[in-house]
């Protein structure tokens, strides 16, 4: 898979979201007590005397899956800060413009719903997880998502595309070149293979495979900007005749041509794609996952190792054979 995203397990650093305490004076403690006492079931509450801002209602749908895809619903806003809940839990949080605790909102967001904040100022958000109070600063106009960090604990991540018509598999984070090379090496790529990268980002994996092994490659990504970037990078590398890039929802993709599939997604996203890979991939195909194992494929795992990138950070690589 593979910008600028915050806290996603071992893949992220807290600096991208700028974790910090929120000095709210005496207003916030009082509001938190009210939330616990009776506002926990309120979808949106403003402090007395402040009217709620106009805007489209939040959307709540069942969690998406290949068997139950999310309906085609337009994103709630195009020029605002969006927060999506890609967990299976209802999440309560408070949010306000930076330095304006009097404008605090109390929010309740359902699974796969999207909250939108049409604002040009930075926002401060706070929620409770694991018995602790967690606070973040959010940049105006950016998309964020509540998602699981380690299978159970919820964190906030920069990088959700903010759309409700497709499944949000993971934020975009580039795979270090050292990891790319090792993934291709461990998968045993030869000139006879066809490499598919689900969540291709800037196209670096299929481009590297084409340059080093002369193989054909296909990159799939939901973000058209990433696809355009991949096409430009392929031209620069001189491999545009060997690779192609498709802008589409990966859960609806046809990967049956692939003999090698590379992934840099989250654990729950790997689990979501597993039935599709089992159905479409031919015997002898290999699946290589960066940092996140594929649950249920323990009997198919042939390699589990680690490699250090140029900064000395360790990355896990899992290779599976169909």
pLDDT of 46 > 80? The answer is no
> Is 265 within a domain?
yes
Within this chain, do residues 274 and 302 fall inside the same structural domain, yes or no? yes
Within this chain, do residues 109 and 183 fall inside the same structural domain, yes or no? no
Within this chain, do residues 317 and 249 fall inside the same structural domain, yes or no? yes
> Is 43 within a domain?
yes
What is the pTM assigned to this prediction? 0.63
Residue 151 pLDDT = 65
Q: Among 58-62, 112-116, 219-223, which stretch is predicted with the lowest mean pLDDT?
A: 58-62
Residues 167-191: tens digit of each pLDDT: 778 778 899 999 999 999 999 999 9
Within this chain, do residues 182 and 150 fall inside the same structural domain, yes or no? no
Residues 84-130: tens digit of each pLDDT: 888 889 999 999 999 999 999 999 999 888 888 988 889 999 999 88
> What is the average pLDDT across 203-224?
96
Within this chain, do residues 91 and 197 fall inside the same structural domain, yes or no? no
Residue 105 pLDDT = 94
16, 34, 157, 264 from 99: Cα distances, Å: 20, 21, 22, 37
Residue 300: domain span: 177-321
Within this chain, do residues 44 and 143 fall inside the same structural domain, yes or no? yes
- SS3 percent helix, strand, coil of the chain, rounded to 5, is 25, 30, 45
CATH code of 226's domain: 3.40.50.150
Within this chain, do residues 104 and 194 fall inside the same structural domain, yes or no? no
> Is 3 within a domain?
no
Which residue did the predictor score with more confidence, 160 or 25?
160
Task: Domain count for the chain, please give it.
Answer: 2
Strand-pair partners of 18? none
Please name the residues in contact with 1: beta carbons below 8 A apart, sequence gap of 6 or more.
170, 172, 173, 175, 197, 198, 199, 200, 201, 263, 264, 265, 290
Residue 275's pLDDT band (cuts 50, 70, 90): very high
């Amino acid at each position: 898979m593979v910008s600028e995203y915050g806290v996603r397990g071992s893949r992220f650093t807290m600096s991208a979201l700028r974790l910090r305490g929120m000095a709210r004076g005496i207003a916030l403690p009082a509001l938190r007590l009210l939330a616990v006492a009776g506002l926990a079931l309120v979808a949106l509450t403003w402090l007395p005397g402040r009217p709620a801002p106009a805007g489209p209602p939040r959307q709540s749908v069942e969690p998406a899956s290949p068997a139950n895809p999310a309906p085609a619903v337009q994103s709630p806003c195009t020029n605002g800060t969006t927060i999506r809940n890609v967990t299976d839990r209802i999440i309560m949080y408070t949010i306000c413009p930076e330095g304006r605790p009097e404008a605090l909102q109390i929010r309740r967001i359902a699974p796969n719903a999207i909250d939108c904040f049409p604002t040009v100022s930075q926002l401060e958000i706070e929620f409770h997880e694991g018995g602790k109070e967690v606070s973040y600063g959010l940049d105006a106009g950016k998309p964020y998502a509540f998602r699981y960090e380690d299978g159970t604990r919820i964190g906030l991540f920069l990088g959700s595309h903010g759309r409700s018509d497709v499944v949000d598999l993971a934020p975009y984070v580039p795979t270090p070149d050292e990891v790319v090379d090792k993934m291709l090496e461990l998968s045993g790529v030869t000139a006879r293979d066809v490499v598919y990268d689900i969540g291709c980002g800037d196209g670096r994996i299929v481009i590297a495979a084409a340059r080093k092994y002369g193989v054909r490659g296909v990159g799939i990504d939901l973000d058209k900007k990433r696809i355009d970037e991949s096409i430009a990078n392929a031209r620069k590398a001189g491999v545009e005749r060997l690779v192609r890039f498709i802008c589409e929802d990966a859960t609806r993709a046809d990967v049956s041509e692939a003999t090698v599939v590379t992934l840099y997604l989250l654990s729950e996203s790997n689990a979501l794609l597993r039935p599709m890979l089992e159905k479409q991939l031919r015997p002898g195909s290999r699946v290589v996952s960066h940092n996140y194992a594929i649950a249920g494929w323990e009997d198919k795992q042939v390699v589990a190792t680690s490699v250090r990138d140029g900064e000395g950070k360790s990355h896990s690589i899992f290779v599976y054979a169909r």
